[in-house]
Amino acid sequence: MTAIIEREDEGYVALCPELDIASQGDTVESARRNLIEALELFFESADRSEIERRLHGEVFITRVEIAIG
């Protein structure tokens, strides 16, 4: 799974784009741990059809440059 973690106000938000599941924390590490917990809970409670419906097999993360003005 992929974790994208970004600062938001005074904390951090962690997102797993493959399943569109997010969590948050006061630090990068706590946001990461909380996302792992959220993913584990999802897999423990979701049935196979929900996992298959939500799971995006390919996620591409890249940087892009844009020209302004």
Instruction: Let me know: does 12 contact 31? Beta carbons within 8 Å.
Output: yes
23-48: pLDDT as tens digits? 999 999 999 999 999 999 999 999 99
Tell me the pLDDT band of 58, cut-offs 50, 70 and 90: confident
> 48 is written with which tokens?
């196979």
Residue 2 predicted with pLDDT over 90 = yes
Instruction: Let me know: does 2 contact 18? Beta carbons within 8 Å.
Output: yes
From 35, 41, 2, select the one nearest 18 (Cα to Cα): 2
Please tell me the distance from the alpha carbon of residue 29 to that of residue 12, in angstroms, as a whole number.
9
Query: First-to-last CA distance in the chain?
Result: 37
